[in-house]
Amino acid sequence: MAEGDAGSDQRQNEEIEAMAAIYGEEWCVIDDCAKIFCIRISDDIDDPKWTLCLQVMLPSEYPGTAPPIYQLNAPWLKGQERVDLSNSLEEIYIQNIGESILYLWVEKIRDTLIQKSQMTEPGPDIKKKTEEEDIECEDDLILACQLENPVKTLEFDISENQPEIEELPPIDHGIPITDRRSTFQAHLAPVVCPKQVKMVLAKLYENKKIASATHNIYAYRIYCEDKQTFLQDCEDDGETAAGGRLLHLMENEFFSLR
């Protein structure tokens, strides 16, 4: 192991120990060897109205030259609200390059939840979904982002540095596999911006068999070179944690190719 890697590993271990000591049961280990962790964050520990789960993977270059790979999981978090929170976390990283930032990220998210709680009260549906998300954090630590509609709710602000891509990318269709009277088929497309994700989904849903499928899960990851981080999201479509697991596999594949 190189000296730099050993130093990063030691700093990561110290940060992990500190996070576990500070947040107790809110902090949980998904994969210790792969440095994947999840923390449940609420506006109020005793009487939570808004809850979010932050899943992070610590690359070997963190905290020296790379940020954590992260995923924000909450049934209510989508659209501009998700973009704004992601931008806030990335700003914290940019302002603290080379420093340990997990604590800053968690407290920023908590501040956001507190502000949200002060501005609005969650309705019955949101309360129910928040309670369900809490259970999933405990029972299934690799969580999926839960969007209500994979086409209509897929809304993003595209960075000025990202090119406008109007062309539909090529879509590869896997061979259908049948297991226990259920049929599965994979579809793969290279995308470089969120707009292309919407285009691919819209194209796939033109197929009546796909549109009427019981569960259409998906995940995507787009590397933002200017910020040296990933824009990513996933969809369960009713199959608990399926989209999150798919995204997790994509994250692992990225690290295995490095």
The answer to whether 35 touches 107, Cβ cutoff 8 Å, is no
pTM confidence score: 0.50
Written as six digits, the tokens of 215 are 């569960």
Q: Going edge to edge, which strands form the sheet with 69-73?
A: 27-31, 36-42, 51-57, 69-73
In angstroms, the CA 93 to CA 116 distance is: 23
In angstroms, the CA 135 to CA 150 distance is: 23
In the chain, % helix, strand, coil (3-state, to 5) comes to 40, 20, 40
Alpha helices in 155-241, H assignment, sequence order: 194-204, 208-211
- 120 exposure class (CB count in 10 Å sphere: 0-12, 13-18, 19+): exposed
Q: What is the pLDDT along the chain (258 residues), one digit of tens a residue?
A: 444 566 788 899 999 999 999 999 899 988 888 899 999 999 987 888 899 999 999 998 899 888 899 888 888 888 888 889 989 999 999 999 899 999 999 999 999 999 998 886 554 444 444 444 444 444 443 333 333 333 333 444 444 444 555 688 898 888 888 888 788 888 998 888 888 888 898 888 888 888 888 888 888 888 777 666 778 888 888 777 778 778 777 776 654 444
In angstroms, the CA 34 to CA 252 distance is: 9
Biggest distance spanned by C-alpha atoms of the chain:
56
